[in-house]
Structure formats: C-alpha cells, structure tokens
Structure 1
C-alpha cells in the first residue's frame, strides 16, 4: 500500500466553523472505519495561534491515489464544504518498530 499525507485547510467564511462542527461526528465515524480497514494511520486538527480549528492533517494508506481520491470525494468535510484547499502528497512514513 502507498502512504499519503493530507493537509486540508478549512473555508474561512462566517459559517465555516459551524459546518465543521455539524458534520464532525459523521467525519470521525468515517475515519474510524478507515482505521479499522487499515487505511487511516494518524491525523488531527490544525489550529491557529488562538487555538481555533482551521484545518486537518492525516496520514493514510491506500493501494492507489485514485482510491484515496474516491474516498475524499465522499468525505463529509468535502461534501459539506468544510475543507476548501486539500494538498495530498505520497510519503514514506517512518516505522519506529523496525
């Protein structure tokens, strides 16, 4: 499986935070399923200097970038206009157990 890093920045309009919070549980439910299937490695929220949520970062394992993009197309933070800008890079994660 290939490994990917995702950095996503939220929309900055007045309703952006409300949209994030309204679909957060659905987003987390999907991430939990990805973890169970071995696709989600790690991740969390990006914060500004004041502690406000402004985006997300995560590491994933997918067979292909197309598989990652197919997941992303149905991810609630995309469909509900939470993430405005998403950067995906193939990475090679360090495994401290080897």
Structure 2
C-alpha cells in the first residue's frame, strides 16, 4: 500500500508506518501561507537499515546541509527534517522534505544528486504532489 493511501489529510499530523511527526502551529501556518512558485511536493526518504547507515549519515550530513541550505536560499526547499525511529530514541531513520520545484522529475533529479543517495544513506524515497491547507 502506498504511503499516499495511509497519510491523513490533516496538515499537522503525518503518519508513516510506525514513524510519526507533528508540525508545530507556526510551521503549519508557514506552510499554508507559503506562495509556491513551482509545484509543491513532499519527499519521504528512507535510510538504509544496515549497521553502518547511521554513521554514513553523520559523516556526510555537513555536505547534505550545505546542499539543502543552498536549495532553500534558491526557494527550492520549504521545510525539511529527519524522521526519527521513536520520540524517545531520536535515532534518525529517514528524512522528509517539502519542496517547490517545477516537476516531479526535477524533484527526482534533486534527490538523486544528494550526498545521502550517493553515499547509500537514503535507500529509497517517495515523492508526492502536495497541496498545503489554507489555515
């Protein structure tokens, strides 16, 4: 079953399998007020599960942050962050990005060029069209 069929449409409550994260009221207002130039998409990336995956993530994280900071400055990334395995453990097991790009193909190209993909941190990802709620 695709994640699209499992996600509730509530803007402040997103669930994927056992992963759960909530957007703050300020983040929800920010997303709903953002004027997208291209088309909004959500990227849900899943980390590799081997024993070295977390260390690879930590090793290339500065380079990843450099790339996403530049993309944010260009208006391509609206919001991003790590998916955690649980609220208490805070082990990173994936990522979520809200992006503003012209096409799903542009998003795919952006993801494939990321150091997390090139260094086998993200093993898979899903890209969904996104419609922010007007809250």
Q: With structure 2 as the length reference, what TM-score do the two structures score?
A: 0.68
Displacement of 1:8: 0.9
* 8 Å CA contact retained: 2:104, 2:127: no
Q: Give distance in 1, aligned partners of 2:58 and 2:85.
A: 17
Report SS of the residue matched to 2:100: strand
Match of 2:64 among 5, 16, 27: 27
Q: Give distance in 2, aligned partners of 1:14 and 1:36.
A: 34
Task: Indicate the residue corresponding to 1:13 in structure 2.
Answer: 50
Matches within 5 A, 1:54-93: 54-93=93-132
Report SS of the residue matched to 1:92: coil
Match of 1:48 among 85, 97, 100: 85
Report SS of the residue matched to 2:79: strand
Displacement of 1:58: 1.1
Q: With structure 1 as the length reference, what TM-score do the two structures score?
A: 0.92
Q: Give distance in 1, aligned partners of 2:133 and 2:119.
A: 33
Displacement of 1:67: 1.2
Instruction: Considering Cα pairs closer than 8 Å and 6+ residues apart, tell me whether 1 or 2 has the greater RCO.
Output: 1
Report SS of the residue matched to 1:23: helix
Q: Give distance in 1, aligned partners of 2:74 and 2:64.
A: 16
Q: Which runs of 5+ in 1 are unaligned?
A: none
Q: Which runs of 5+ in 2 are unaligned?
A: 1-37
Q: Give distance in 2, aligned partners of 1:44 and 1:61.
A: 16
- Structure 1 residues 14-66: Cα deviation after superposition (integer angstroms, max 9, x where no partner): 11011000100000000001111100000101111221111111100001111
Q: Give distance in 1, aligned partners of 2:64 and 2:122.
A: 12
Q: Greater strand percent: which structure?
A: 1
